[in-house]
Structure 1
Amino acid sequence: MNFNTIRLVLLSCIALVSATAFAQQDFQGKAYYHSKTAVDMSNFGRPDMPEEAKHRMQARMKSMFEKTYVLTFNKTESIYKEEEKLAAPNQGGGGRFSGMMSSFTAGPQYKNVKEELLLQDQEFFGKQFLIKDPLKKFDWVMSGETKQIGKYMCFKATAKKTVTDFDVSSFGRPPGRDPEDAKKEEEKKDEEPKEVVVEAWYTMQIPVNQGPAEYWGLPGLILELSSDKTTILCSKIVLNPTEKDHIKRPSKGKEVTKEAYNKIVKKKTAEMRENFRSRGGRPGGGRGR
C-alpha cells in the first residue's frame, strides 16, 4: 500500500468520525468567502477619456467585482449572502453607472439540498423578484488530488457548466466599426452559451454537501472554487457558533424561474446599451442641463 493510498484511508476515517459527530448534534456553521471576478477593462470608457478618470473608474469597477460573502449552513439548508459593510468615505462617486451595476448583484440565495430547491432574493432596477428553481446537479469528477487549505485537507473535483456570459465591458466599447455590426456582435455574445470547467476543492472534515453560490453536491463543504472568470476562496470557518442564525427562506417578490429572469435582464441590458450609445458612451450622462 503506497503513501497516497494510506493517506486517503486515514482521511476517509477522519471524515467518517466527523460525519458521526455532526449527525449527533443540531449543528450550524458559517463560512466566509472572498469572491473575485476578472473583467476586461481595456476597452472601457470613451476614447477621449483622460487616463486619470479611466483609472478611477477601473478602481471602482474592481471593487464592484471583489466581494465577501457569508454562507450559513446546517445539514440540509444554507443561505449565501454578501457580507454587510459600511461604505468608505468619498467612495460613493459611481453615479448612475454604479447604481446600474448594483442591479446585477445577486441577493441572498437559499439552498435546500434535501428538497433540491434553490431560492434567490433579487432586486433588479427597483423591482423585487424571487427566483425559484430546482438545484442544478453537477456531474462532479473526483481527481484524487489533495491540498491543504488552512487546517483542512481538501480534495479536488471538476465539473462542466454551461453559461451565457454577461460582459459589462461591452457597454464601453469605443466606436471603431459600424454600430449595427457592434450591436449584433454583442447580442450574439450574450445569447451564445459556452461551456466552462468548474474546479472545486472540498473537505470531508466538514461533511455537508454545501458550497458557495449555486455550487453543492460534494461529500464535504467546498472551500475553494474557480469557474470561468470567477474565483471564490474560503477565508474563515466558524462551527457551532454560540449565537445561531435562523436560516430563513426568501419569500418576497415576483416568483420567476432563472430562465425567465435572464430574459428580463437581457431585455433591460439591450435597452441600456441603446441609451449608452445615444449618449455618446457616457455611463451617467446624456441629459441636458
Structure 2
Amino acid sequence: MICKNCGTDNSDNAKFCAYCASPLTTSSEPKKPQNRNKKNNNNKIIGIVLAFLSLVLIIVGGYLVLNGKIFKNEISVDAVTLDGDYEMDGDRYVLSTNENVIVIPNVKSSDSSYELKYEIEDTTAANIKQLGDKCTVIGLKETDANLNIYSGDKILKVVKLSFKDKNLDELSKNDEEKTKQEEKVKTQVEQDLVTCKYCGKKVNRSYTDKYNGCCSEYCLTMYEGNQYEQWEKQQDEHYFHEHCRNCGECLEDDTYGDLCESCYLKACEDRTRAKESREN
C-alpha cells in the first residue's frame, strides 16, 4: 500500500506508514514520491550563491576600508614644538642661521599608519631633513619662509619661520654699545676741556688749574719778557692769596667776603631775578 503522505510502499495489511507513521487508507490516491535529491541540489546551489556573494562583499568592503571610503582616517596637526634656540615674533618662529632646530608636530589621528611630509616653500632659505614624523631645519640666509606639513596631498599645518644671522646681530649690538661708550667718553672729555689763555689750545681743566689758566709750563716758557715774568708773579701770589669759593680766582681783598667781584655780582643778579620771579 502506497502512503499518501510520503509515497513509501508499505505492505497491504499495514495500517500506518513504516516511514512516516501516517495512517494508511485505500480510498485516496497515493501521492507521488518526493525527489529528495532535487531538494538537496537546490540547497547546494543556494549555499554556493550565498558564499560567492559574501566573498564579493568582503573584497569590496576591504577595498573601501583601505581607501578610506567607509572608515575614513582623520588626521590633523594642531600645533608644533621646536627643540632648539628660537624666539617668537607674533606667530612666527625666529631661528638663527646655521643652527639645527627640530620640528615636532602634535599629531591627532584615528589610524597610526599615517605618514607626514615636510616641504619649505623657499628652498634657498633652509635645508630640511625628515626624521620619521619629525624634521630638522637649518637656515641658510636671513629671510622669512613657510614650512608646510603634509599628509598625502593635504596641508595639515603651515609653520611660519624667520631666519636671522645671530653673529651679525651680536656684532651690531657690540658696535652700537661701543659707539655709545665712545660718545659718552667724548662728551665727558669735552666738558672738561678749557682754552689756554696764552696759546688758545683746548686742554683738560686740570692743566689750567695747575698753571693758572695756561695749558702747560712749557707753553709759558715760550713767552718772553713781561708775559712770563707776570705769570711767575701771579703763580707765586696764587699760593698766598685767598681764593674765590666759586671760581677759584685769587682774592685781592675781602670786600665781597669769600667771593671775587664777578662771582659776587653774578650771585646778586641771580638773587634779584629769583626774587622778582617769586613776586610775579
TM-score, length-scaled by structure 2: 0.20
Q: Which has the higher strand share?
A: 1
* Structure with the largest fraction of helix: 2
